[in-house]
Amino acid sequence: MQYPDSISKLIDSYMKLPGIGEKTATRLAFFTIDMDKSDVMTFAKSLTDAKTKLHYCSICGNITEDDPCVICTDTSRDQSKVLVVEQAKDVMSMDRMDDYHGLFHVLHGVLSPMEGVGPDDLNIASLLRRLQDNDKVQEVIVATNATPEGEATATYLARLIKPAGIKVTRLAHGLSVGSDIEYADQMTLMKAVEGRTEL
């Protein structure tokens, strides 16, 4: 027996989401059918609003409804630091820290020659323009992930930015608090040794 067409389409729609297979999509589809109509309409409107109202900030590349975004227009932020992240979702994670109150820049990915992603595919040109136009920036903090692609992107950015006399730093990587050395992989241990501090 086949599902009615509208259920099949709903299942197919859920399967387009990352990590959602057919069983989970089917469960979500039937859950949606059992939801109150007003909740479904609100859910549908949220999806539509997210797609139509959100866009990228013309300065930093973060997701926003207003351009420029609230972070770029916040004059109380430290204008001397720009923290560079891979994705817009990383901005929220980093901004939750009370210790950092500077600016951000979103690359929208990392360099990956194997996947055909080069410098022109990332939000790098606008970062360089931003640094040229803003003489207040003294430090660029590269917060790409500790993957081969993230490391290559960090090295590439450092080579581009350092000649302008701007300090380029990298987030420390290594052992997390409470972890055991015996379970750490080689890359984590190497980064922990490189990022060691004096006691």
Exposure string of 84-113, with b = 16+ CB inside 10 Å and e = fewer, is bbbbbebbeebbeeeebebbbbbbebbbbe
| Overall number of domains in the chain | 1
Q: What's the confidence (pLDDT) of residue 162?
A: 95
Whether 44 is in a domain gets the answer no
Whether 138 is in a domain gets the answer yes
Whether 67 is in a domain gets the answer no
Residue pLDDT tens, the chain, 199 long: 689 999 999 999 999 999 999 999 999 999 999 999 999 999 999 999 999 999 999 999 999 999 999 999 999 999 999 999 999 999 998 888 778 899 999 999 999 999 999 999 999 999 999 999 989 999 999 999 888 899 999 999 999 999 999 999 998 777 677 777 677 777 777 777 777 655 5
Whether 139 is in a domain gets the answer yes
CATH number of domain containing 124: 3.40.1360.10
Q: What's the confidence (pLDDT) of residue 199?
A: 53
Range of the domain at 158: 77-170
**55-64: long-range contacts, CB 8 A cutoff, minimum separation 24:** 56/88, 56/106, 56/108, 59/126, 59/130, 60/103, 60/104, 60/105, 60/106, 60/130, 61/88, 61/105, 61/106, 61/107, 61/108, 61/123, 61/126, 62/88, 62/91, 62/104, 62/106, 63/88
